[in-house]
């Protein structure tokens, strides 16, 4: 196809960049850029019109049926056609089995991560459920867990993008959170087509409809005004066709961002966070994914809330969100209930349709009290199901600290199994006294909250307590103390062991990282005798593995602590973990949702004590530092995890 000079296309976009060809049956072949997707979007109900006439139904399917050259499904990296080194090319896809960074290795994935070409191992998670059912809570937990295991995971929240799209008449807006780097910023009421539509969509419109004669003087796409796109409950009414169309377009557009992340940006798991409450919407999303890449895994996760008190608390929590920020709580609460009613009128839960069409799904009831799953395939989907089955919202405290100072700490030697020094034994006594006091204070505080909740009816926006029905039986809540099987860790728990009010258990998985043949050496000795190994570790501590028998790295520690994390999510009791530096770093990385760059360098000196309380909206975090002079712990107000200042540890 050549440029159409009279229409002035050069001033807008170079159509020739898209390299169109026409087959013998006059059908357009796939372009080298993403114009096919743009045309498909237009044909699927886009608002783009020409001379007041909607574009023909199905336009764009021709181009979108052929995978893009940038997608992972195309040669030469496609799993559909691979050369194994022999004369005969491999025509079947590789086996999609367990990938664990640091624990598995293959030709396709030498580091254990999901390879870019291993599309069949990647996963699209589509959330389902009415508002205030805990979907965002679940998505954040899944994202945190998978990212902690070094699987590239990102959440794509449709609501965030919907607010931008519906409120665009207010002026320039930034790309919503989680947008891929380089996402174009879109401005409303602009006189330039380039300000409102990305290049592929511009080309699609021009190709099919020609150039608007008024281009440059008026918008090609008429964005609705702020008044007509009010986002109160009426916006979510299924009878509101304009709003429904916008919501549908935003959902599909957000899904395309997600697919770009998986297919073009090295992602492993993309989570689409939205209600997706109708069979029709879910089928549209399913079809869109299969058009882009048939081998991608698709998992639906539905969150159902049958507990009325839990639902009421969730609704009050929702009033803290961006849709109701700085608005009257009473009127906001009433409006939100109307929004839920609007969704409920068209809501179809997961079940018969998905099973009939062989779609895998997980259904969570009351945030983990009951979990149902169907036809799960792939290690990621199975791992997510196992993780979700551990959820509970019981109020509790999780404490993390290192052991008291040991003899090897004093001499600066790695690993070993030495006893505590006198300072270390004193630390163990102070730790016991402090934890016992904090345990008593916590129970008194929770009882006070229960009393307040029982005497005063909850109001919209009230967050204290978030789930009063879960705060009972505080007197019967156990307190577990978990140590490693190394002397210095077990010795720090002696005072707890002697108190029947604590349950002490030793875990091998909590042992310090094993330094292989460097066990018992100092960092200075390693640098002097093995400068190459020292430099390799300094360059990439997260992926480095100590040489020699039993040598480990941080990825191995993450792997052996996977079951520990699930247990911490499952139990309803308090826990104190007396671990080691690498263990504390890895556990803190999980609970604080730290990046992979922070894990191996997190500053966790001896004497630092962390308190974590799981909440419906995240965690409540406190940090304390051991005061040797006062023989007590001082709270570190506004403490934030930071990297250590002394490199090499």
150: left (phi over 0), alpha (psi -120 to 50) or beta: left
The Cα 160–Cα 174 span in angstroms is: 11
- What lies within 8 Å, CB to CB, of 149 at 6+ separation is 100, 101, 558, 559, 562
Alpha-carbon distances of 267 from 143, 151, 259, 261, 592, rounded to whole Å: 12, 8, 9, 5, 21
Contact status, residue 649 vs residue 515, Cβ threshold 8 Å: no
Biggest CA-to-CA distance, the chain: 90
Q: What are phi and psi of 620, to 5 degrees?
A: -105, 125
Tally of CB atoms within 10 A around 35: 27
Provide the H-helix boundaries in 87-193: 135-148, 158-166
Contact status, residue 484 vs residue 387, Cβ threshold 8 Å: no
488 annotated as ligand-binding: yes
Q: Classify each residue of 269-279 as buried b or exposed e, where b means 16 or more C-beta atoms within 10 Å of its C-beta.
A: bbbbbbbbbeb
Residues with catalytic annotation? 273, 305, 512, 580
The Cα 274–Cα 163 span in angstroms is: 13
The Cα 156–Cα 297 span in angstroms is: 17
The Cα 196–Cα 643 span in angstroms is: 42
List the binding residues. 488
List the binding residues for substrate. 488
């Amino acid at each position: 196809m050549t440029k159409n000079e009279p229409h002035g296309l050069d001033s807008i976009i170079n159509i020739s960049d898209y390299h169109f060809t026409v087959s013998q049956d006059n059908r357009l072949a796939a372009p080298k850029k993403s114009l096919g997707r743009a045309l498909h979007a237009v044909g699927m109900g886009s608002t783009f019109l020409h001379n007041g006439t909607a574009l023909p139904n199905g336009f764009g399917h021709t181009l979108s049926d052929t995978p893009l050259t940038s997608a992972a499904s195309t040669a030469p990296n496609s799993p559909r056609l691979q050369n194994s080194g022999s004369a005969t090319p491999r025509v079947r896809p590789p086996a999609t089995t367990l990938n664990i960074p640091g624990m598995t290795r293959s030709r396709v994935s030498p580091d254990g991560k999901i390879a870019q070409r291993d599309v069949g191992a990647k996963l699209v998670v589509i959330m389902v459920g009415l508002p205030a059912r805990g979907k965002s809570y679940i998505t954040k937990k899944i994202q945190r867990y998978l990212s902690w295991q070094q699987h590239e995971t990102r959440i794509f929240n449709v609501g965030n993008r919907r607010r931008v799209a519906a409120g665009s008449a207010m002026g320039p807006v930034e790309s919503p959170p989680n947008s891929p780097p380089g996402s174009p910023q879109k401005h409303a009421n602009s006189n330039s087509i380039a300000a409102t539509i990305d290049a592929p969509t511009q080309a699609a419109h021009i190709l099919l409809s020609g150039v608007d004669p008024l281009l440059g003087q008026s918008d090609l796409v008429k964005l609705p005004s702020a008044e007509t796109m009010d986002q109160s409950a009426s916006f979510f009414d299924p009878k509101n066709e304009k709003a429904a169309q916008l919501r549908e377009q935003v959902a599909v557009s957000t899904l395309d961002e997600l697919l770009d992340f998986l297919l073009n940006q090295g992602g492993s798991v993309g989570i689409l966070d939205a209600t997706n409450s109708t069979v029709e919407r879910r089928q549209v999303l399913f079809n869109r994914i299969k058009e882009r890449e048939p081998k991608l895994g698709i998992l639906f996760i539905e969150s159902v809330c049958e507990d009325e008190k839990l639902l009421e608390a969730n609704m009050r929590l929702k009033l803290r969100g961006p849709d109701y920020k700085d608005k009257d709580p009473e009127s906001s609460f009433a409006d939100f209930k109307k929004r839920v009613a609007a969704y409920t009128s068209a809501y179809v839960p997961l079940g018969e349709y998905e099973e009939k069409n062989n779609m895998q799904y997980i259904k969570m009831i009351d945030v983990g009290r009951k979990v149902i799953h169907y036809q799960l395939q792939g290690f990621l989907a199975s791992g997510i199901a196992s993780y979700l089955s551990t959820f509970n919202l019981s109020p509790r405290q999780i404490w993390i600290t290192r052991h008291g100072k040991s003899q090897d700490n004093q001499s600066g030697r790695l690993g070993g199994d030495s006893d505590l020094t006198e300072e270390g034994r004193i630390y163990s006594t102070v730790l016991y006294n402090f934890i016992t006091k904090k345990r008593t204070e916590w129970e008194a505080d929770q009882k006070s909250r229960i009393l307040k909740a029982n005497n005063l009816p909850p109001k919209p926006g009230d967050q204290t307590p978030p789930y009063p029905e879960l705060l009972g039986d505080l007197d019967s809540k156990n307190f577990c103390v978990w140590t490693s099987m190394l002397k210095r860790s077990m010795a720090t728990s002696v005072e707890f062991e002697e108190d029947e009010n604590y349950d002490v258990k030793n875990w091998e998985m909590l042992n310090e990282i094993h330094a292989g043949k460097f066990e018992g050496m100092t960092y200075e000795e390693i640098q002097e005798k093995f400068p190459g190994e020292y430099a390799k570790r300094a360059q990439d501590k997260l992926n480095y593995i100590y040489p020699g028998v039993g040598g480990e790295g941080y990825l191995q520690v993450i792997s052996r602590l996977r079951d520990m994390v699930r247990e911490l999510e499952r139990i309803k009791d308090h826990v104190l973990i007396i671990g080691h530096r690498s263990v504390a770093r890895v556990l803190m990385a999980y609970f604080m949702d730290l990046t992979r760059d922070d894990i191996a360098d997190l500053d966790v000196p001896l004497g630092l004590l962390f308190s974590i309380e799981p909440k419906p909206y995240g965690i409540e975090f406190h940090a304390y530092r051991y005061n040797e002079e006062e023989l007590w712990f001082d709270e570190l107000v506004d403490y934030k995890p930071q990297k250590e200042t002394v490199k090499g540890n």
